[in-house]
Amino acid sequence: MGRPRRVFVAWAVVLSALWLLLNWPQDGRPLLFWLRWAGFPWTFAFWRDGQLKEFYPLALAGDIAFGVVIVMGVASLCAWSRRGAESSAKRA
């Protein structure tokens, strides 16, 4: 596996973990302690008093698609910029 591919995979793993953390169910403590939601940037699930009250599959699908595009795009740019930095360092 080449260096740019390793950089891409490393960034993709880190960004995917961040995206997963952002989509993890959250609660509105201390003011809304009975309310929980999941999703970033689109909220796709709501819980109230421990029970799932609303679920939006299209919002979940959009959230996943948006996440894949963002993670792959940013990881590609990071690998590309790292490759450019390495090639200019070799010339010097």
* 87 inside domain: no
Domain count, the chain: 1
* 45 inside domain: yes
* 86 inside domain: no
* 64 inside domain: yes
pLDDT, residue 56, reads 93
pLDDT, residue 34, reads 62
At 59, the pLDDT band (50, 70, 90 cuts) reads very high
> Is pLDDT of 50 > 60?
yes
**DSSP labels, 26-56:** EEETTTEEEEEEE-SSS--EEEETTEEEEE-
**DSSP labels, 59-86:** HHHHHHHHHHHHHHHHHHHHHHHHHHHH
* 8 inside domain: no
Q: Domain limits at 60?
A: 18-26+37-68
HSE (side-chain half, CA atoms, 13 Å) at 22: 15
